[in-house]
């Protein structure tokens, strides 16, 4: 009688283990997934901060060519993309806006004492955990702003 009871309890142990591991692994995946989203957000914030630091000093490529593909804006986008740890592959998500330092009106110039805003917009974090696969992706955005310094050569570099 004792032996038959042990055999029936052996099946209970397998069932209890399965019932415990299922929620445990779901929570583990959720923790990893949420941590990855926070990591991406912090990485993007650092990337736009570095892009803003680069922008306010008036730096550009060593040989600036004012053809729209080698100006200061492209150099800033390169800095942001290089600091995004490979998460940003589409450069159209990186936005650079200038504002007049006095009136705060939108400006097209990267001249001294204007405010530059470097941002990442439109990135979506896709959940990897099975319970969130049907959910909409989490949008992640970051922005940084600072005052443009006067260029040491006198004029602002081409955008």
User: What share of the chain in percent tops pLDDT 70?
Assistant: 77
With CA atoms as reference, report the closest residue to 141 among 47, 73, 65, 66: 47
Compute φ and ψ for 135, nearest 5 degrees: -75, 160
Task: Quote the mean pLDDT of the chain.
Answer: 83
Q: Residue 73: which pLDDT band, with cuts at 50, 70 and 90?
A: confident
Q: Is the pLDDT of residue 63 over 60?
A: no
Average pLDDT over residues 87-110: 90
Q: What span, in angstroms and rounded, lies between the C-alpha atoms of 21 and 36? A: 22
């Amino acid at each position: 009688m004792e032996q038959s009871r042990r055999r029936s309890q052996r099946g209970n142990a397998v069932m209890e283990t399965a019932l415990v591991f299922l929620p445990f692994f779901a929570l583990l995946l959720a923790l990893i997934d949420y941590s990855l989203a926070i990591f991406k957000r912090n990485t993007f914030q650092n990337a736009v901060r570095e892009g803003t630091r680069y922008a306010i000093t008036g730096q550009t490529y060593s040989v600036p060519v004012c053809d729209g593909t080698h100006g200061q804006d492209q150099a800033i986008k390169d800095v942001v993309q290089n600091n995004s740890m490979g998460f940003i592959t589409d450069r159209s998500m990186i936005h650079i806006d200038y504002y007049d330092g006095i009136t705060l009106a939108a400006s097209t110039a990267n001249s001294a004492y204007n405010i530059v805003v470097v941002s990442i917009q439109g990135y979506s974090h896709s959940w990897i955990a099975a319970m969130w696969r049907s959910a909409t992706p989490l949008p992640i955005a970051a922005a940084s702003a600072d005052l443009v310094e006067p260029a040491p050569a006198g004029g602002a570099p081409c955008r």
